[in-house]
Structure 1
């Protein structure tokens, strides 16, 4: 087989252990998954009611234009219908952007550590990658600018960043965008937008008229609790979206996902409730970390990246044996830390107890 050269040095994605697998492995009756930043409150009641009797012709292809959902999002964000691109999760939109703009002899810039799909897709396309180390969990945007060259095609910014959760201040981001050449696409990945409670943060869609070279990614997988349906979207200038649509597969979103998202989008109350509950529980994690002298990043998401008193893999395995699936920082580029999804009040009380045992076991 004549595989791309880049694939020789790459590994397939390795999913974490499932709840059932952990139950069987450690003979546990109850296991809580806090590893993938899913919404612990599920999805809106209106979605669950809809799913009891979805009515649609399953023999017909999906609406490739996502007409109804497109119209609702356009109204919500006060943009033209042609400003929106849909993907099978925002992961697919990252792939579409990479396929459209990256190739050999092009260059792309991203932070490190961050969401790994930026680098993964860039490597497949053969692009040169510059990774700019985070500073205290934040993007070093001055270093980004210094790394720009005449081959730079895409800049990736995860805001808030995964896995640290930090949010870039508006003035810092706006200053950066003013200095980026207009022939470079700046991807602002806002998968956790709905969880942000910083009163100074603005909806970056407002910046589209000022910066036509930005594209904003959002998803129904996180706060909306629809990860199983794989539906993400991007908002950008119509000229940018038109080019990306040339790469998009014609029926990349299934009919049920589109229908469910239509229902979910109308339930603002559910999102507001999840945001409020998440903020309360987020403060509990910060207090727990402070009480125990543990470093935790200043997150604006539904997860925390928290210090552990031993190797991150060892700590993750210890918590696993105690019924909690978390993400080891060794796999994220953040050793001595674990990433924990902020769960319900009960789930978080449980992981604090497990963490107490971890600290006692490792002598802290």
Structure 2
């Protein structure tokens, strides 16, 4: 087969261990998956009620235009419905943007420690990757981004808050960057964790799309809304960009159930805010735990933390697995010496701290 040569240099996505696998391997009854940044509180109860009572017509293709959700989302964000593009999770949105803009002869700018699908898709499309190291505090080096970009830069990826560090760039910093970034480069502001941000000074970047013609903002229903299994992401940008990107987007890329339950979830903002409030309280507990035990921890505005471990990150993950906790090794994320932990419920975090105490005895 005439595969693209670059595929021989790549590896497929490596998923974390499943709860079933860990239970079987370690003989455990109770296992907590805190590795994939899922919402530990689930999704709105209204979603389950909808699925029990109203889901039907499975023989029909979904609405290509996504009229129902598009209208509600536009009203919610106070934007025009033509400024929204839907995708099968944020992963597909990255693929759509890469297919539309990246090719041999172009380059793309990103941080060295960030969402790995940016680099993955750039390699497949044959674009040059210009990778800028994050700053010591975990922030994107936006000045470094500007130095790396030129007239051949097609996409600049800004993950905010950043995965896996959790760092949040201020609205002022992002807008200053947009003012200076090449106008021929599409700046992708990936805000998968936007709903978890509690900084009162942070602005809603969707309001900027009319000020910056080269801006697109990505959001998702997977994280705070707790709908990861339905795979539904979206992006907001000017309608001309949406029209162009729709030429790349596969028809029927969102299934009918995903579109329907997203409408239901969007209406239950009380549930979402309760999740955000609980997450904020528990996030502070991680900061306190790190301070108490003299552990470095990145300043997260997400539903996960990147925290220092006293041994190799893979070894730390193994110890935590033995105690029933699945977390993500920093060795896989470009942050050796750290593990990424999804912020769980109060009880999950209390139990995780007890397991982490065992790690501390290995210093």
When the two structures are superposed, what TM-score results if normalisation uses the length of structure 2? Answer: 0.99
Offset, 1:55: 3.2
Deviations 1:130-149 (A, max 9, x none): 11111111010001000011
Whole-angstrom CA distance in 2 between matches of 1:133 and 1:70? 37
Q: Is the 8 A contact 2:107 2:127 kept in 1?
A: yes
- Partner in structure 1 of residue 90 of structure 2: 90
- Partner in structure 2 of residue 320 of structure 1: 321
Asked if 1:54 is matched to 2:54, the reply is yes
- Residue 53 of structure 2 aligns to a residue in which SS? coil
Deviations 1:37-72 (A, max 9, x none): 000000001111111123331111000111000001
- Partner in structure 2 of residue 36 of structure 1: 36
- Partner in structure 2 of residue 79 of structure 1: 79
Deviations 1:101-156 (A, max 9, x none): 00111100001100000000010000000111111110100010000112100000
Whole-angstrom CA distance in 2 between matches of 1:133 and 1:183? 23
- The runs of 5 or more residues in structure 2 that have no matched partner are none
Alpha-carbon RMSD across the aligned residues, in angstroms, is 0.7
- Partner in structure 2 of residue 241 of structure 1: 242
Q: Is the 8 A contact 2:55 2:257 kept in 1?
A: no
Deviations 1:215-251 (A, max 9, x none): 0000000000000000000000111111101000110
- Partner in structure 1 of residue 5 of structure 2: 5
Whole-angstrom CA distance in 2 between matches of 1:128 and 1:234? 24
- Partner in structure 2 of residue 281 of structure 1: 282
Asked if 1:304 is matched to 2:309, the reply is no
- Partner in structure 1 of residue 122 of structure 2: 122
Residues 147-226 of structure 1 correspond to what in structure 2 (within 5 A)? 147-226=148-227
Whole-angstrom CA distance in 1 between matches of 2:66 and 2:112? 34
Offset, 1:335: 0.3
- Residue 275 of structure 1 aligns to a residue in which SS? helix
- Residue 13 of structure 2 aligns to a residue in which SS? coil
Residues 55-70 of structure 1 correspond to what in structure 2 (within 5 A)? 55-70=55-70
Deviations 1:157-184 (A, max 9, x none): 1000000000001111111100112111
Whole-angstrom CA distance in 1 between matches of 2:3 and 2:312? 36
- Partner in structure 2 of residue 103 of structure 1: 103
Whole-angstrom CA distance in 1 between matches of 2:308 and 2:109? 28
Whole-angstrom CA distance in 1 between matches of 2:166 and 2:62? 35
Whole-angstrom CA distance in 1 between matches of 2:273 and 2:57? 33
When the two structures are superposed, what TM-score results if normalisation uses the length of structure 1? Answer: 0.99
Whole-angstrom CA distance in 1 between matches of 2:219 and 2:23? 33
- Residue 109 of structure 1 aligns to a residue in which SS? strand
Deviations 1:288-314 (A, max 9, x none): 000000000000000000000010000
Q: Is the 8 A contact 2:196 2:302 kept in 1?
A: yes
Deviations 1:329-363 (A, max 9, x none): 00000000000000000000000000001101x13
Offset, 1:12: 1.1
For these two proteins, the number of residue pairs brought into alignment is 362
- Partner in structure 1 of residue 358 of structure 2: 357
- Residue 314 of structure 1 aligns to a residue in which SS? helix
Whole-angstrom CA distance in 1 between matches of 2:191 and 2:3? 33
